[in-house]
């Protein structure tokens, strides 16, 4: 073992806990509500998104072997497509993490309202609790990566238990007659499936976070691919089974509008005790996801700043070596998003954050697939290269399909956020010329 690898704090299980902890969070706990209007096609979205995410994971697994450095998707695109593409991915992926943390904080408040109804009955109180939660987790990440990693392992283990509990509970009390129709909407099935897939992708977003802190991962070129595949298989099986279990217990018309669908399902079967157990699990789950996304939100701008694509101020580290300036700036943007969107109501605000975060990450996925084409140009011709070309093309087409499913409004907002970043790129690029 080299001294460099000996000093790295993240091994397979901590990396797995970051990826699974980031993916299994508010998404799966809110998804029954968001998918309820789309019938059984909504459940089909899990399978499509799972297959598409597998393509993305395979692409990232190959890229991390080529570019085993901090930054994840940003690092791969910057190495393959150059500074402008690298900046766009760093910027949009950073936005994704910020929006994700904001959305997860909203989901936490929604489940907290099961115990303390006053929190969800007051927009001001909901906002204050969300902000307190976000800044507490930021403070923990500023303190040290090691404490953040240990917290992640514990919360990931704890969050899986209530999901397994609801699966057993749902299938043992199922009512197949309450399953919704295949397509209860007036939309074309293909359009419904695309929308459901984009919504569901929010629950898979986070798998790629295992690639971001590569500087802190033991043997990243070997460990990260294992983490990506293991994490994806873990969440896909759990997601599909738990969503089907809830659909077999709670009618779709009751799920629509619920800010705590898991608690609703458990309460129907076990009464207040069941609802309380699931709510505690949901709160732990959202905390773990919030922590993993916050860690990533601090690491991505640090990686971009090292390549002179963000101001040098982002290189500022705390006494424990954490990117304190990145965390503080990220926290400021999270605060702004929460303040601006709490007027929408909990479910609407969460949906907006989820779609914005998902679209931003899908953009990064698409760029990664294109970046791999650059590297494949110089690879030796053969079956392995042909297979890689096919899988990269499929990953790009899947990302494009899911982006289309987000709808015009979210695509518009995402495009506007990209434009906002361009002046920063111009200023930093000028700064780079003077170095």
CA angle 401, 17, 366 (to 5 degrees): 20
- Span 201-211, pLDDT tens digits: 877 776 776 66
How many secondary structure helices (H) and strands (E) does the chain include?
Answer: 18, 0
82: alpha, beta or left? (left if phi > 0; alpha if psi -120 to 50): left
Q: What are phi and psi of 10, to 5 degrees?
A: -115, 120
d(CA 178, CA 247): 8
Q: Is the dihedral of CA 195, 391, 212, 25 positive or negative?
A: positive
What is the chain's length? 435
Exposed / middle / buried, residue 107 (Cβ in 10 Å: 0-12, 13-18, 19+): buried
If you search the block for the tokens 């697939």, which residue do you land on? 369
* Closest by CA position to 187, among listed 42, 294, 367: 42
* Closest by CA position to 46, among listed 235, 186, 177, 189: 235
Distances (CA, A) of 125 to 129, 132, 333, 342: 6, 11, 19, 11
Residue 347's pLDDT is what? Answer: 63
Residue 203's pLDDT is what? Answer: 76
Residue 289's pLDDT is what? Answer: 76
DSSP state of 259: S
* Closest by CA position to 262, among listed 22, 32, 426, 77: 32
CATH for 3-433 is: 1.20.1740.10
Write b or e for each residue in 157-194: b if 16 or more Cβ atoms lie within 10 A of its Cβ, otherwise e: eebbebbebbbebbeeeeeeeebbeebbeeeeeeebbb
C-beta separation of 185 from 172 below 8 A: no
d(CA 371, CA 368): 5
Parts of the chain with a pLDDT under 50: 1-7, 433-435
* Closest by CA position to 277, among listed 117, 203, 166, 121: 166
Residue 211's pLDDT is what? Answer: 67
Is this model's pTM higher than 0.85 or not? no
Q: How many CB atoms lie within 10 A of CB 385?
A: 14
Question: What own/partner pairs with CB < 8 Å and gap ≥ 24 does 225-230 have?
Answer: 225/61, 225/64, 225/65, 226/12, 227/12, 227/15, 227/16, 227/19, 228/19, 228/57, 228/60, 228/61, 229/57, 229/58, 229/61, 230/16
Q: Is the dihedral of CA 323, 328, 333, 338 positive or negative?
A: positive
The ranges assigned to domains in the chain are 3-433
């Amino acid at each position: 073992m080299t001294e460099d690898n000996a000093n790295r704090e993240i091994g397979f299980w901590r990396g797995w806990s970051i990826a699974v902890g980031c993916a299994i969070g508010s998404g799966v706990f809110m998804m029954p509500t968001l998918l309820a209007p789309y019938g059984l096609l909504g459940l089909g979205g899990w399978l499509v998104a799972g297959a598409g995410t597998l393509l993305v994971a395979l692409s990232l697994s190959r890229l991390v072997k080529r570019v085993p450095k901090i930054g994840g998707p940003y690092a791969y695109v910057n190495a393959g497509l150059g500074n402008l593409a690298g900046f766009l991915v760093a910027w949009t992926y950073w936005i994704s993490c910020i929006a994700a943390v904001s959305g997860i904080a909203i989901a936490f408040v929604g489940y907290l309202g099961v115990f303390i109804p006053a929190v969800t009955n007051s927009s001001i109180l909901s906002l204050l609790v969300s902000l307190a939660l976000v800044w507490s987790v930021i403070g923990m990440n500023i303190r040290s990566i090691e404490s953040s990693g240990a917290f992640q392992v514990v919360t990931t283990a704890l969050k899986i238990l209530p999901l397994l509990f609801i699966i057993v509970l749902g299938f043992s009390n199922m009512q197949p007659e309450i399953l919704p129709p295949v397509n209860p909407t007036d939309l074309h099935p293909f359009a419904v499936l695309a929308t459901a897939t984009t919504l569901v992708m929010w629950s898979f977003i986070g798998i790629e976070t295992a690639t971001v802190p590569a500087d802190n991962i033991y043997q990243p070129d070997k460990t990260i691919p294992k983490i990506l595949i293991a994490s994806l298989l873990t969440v896909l099986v759990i997601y599909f089974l738990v969503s089907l279990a809830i659909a077999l217990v709670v009618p779709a018309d009751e799920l629509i509008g619920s800010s705590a669908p898991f608690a609703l399902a458990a309460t129907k079967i076990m009464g207040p005790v069941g609802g309380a157990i699931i709510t505690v699990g949901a709160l732990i789950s959202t905390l773990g996801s919030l922590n993993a996304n916050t860690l990533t939100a601090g690491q991505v701008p640090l990686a971009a700043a090292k390549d002179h694509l963000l101001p040098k101020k982002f290189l500022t580290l705390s006494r424990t070596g954490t990117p304190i300036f990145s965390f503080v700036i990220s926290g400021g943007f999270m605060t702004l998003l929460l303040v601006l969107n709490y007027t929408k109501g909990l479910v609407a605000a969460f949906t907006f954050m989820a779609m914005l975060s998902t679209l931003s990450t899908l953009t990064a996925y698409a760029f990664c697939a294109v970046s791999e084409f650059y590297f494949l140009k110089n690879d030796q011709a053969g079956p392995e290269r042909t297979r890689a070309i096919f899988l990269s093309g499929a990953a790009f087409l899947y990302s494009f399909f899911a982006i289309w499913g987000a709808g015009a409004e979210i695509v518009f907002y995402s495009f506007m956020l990209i434009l906002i970043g361009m002046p920063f790129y111009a200023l930093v690029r000028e700064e780079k010329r003077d170095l």
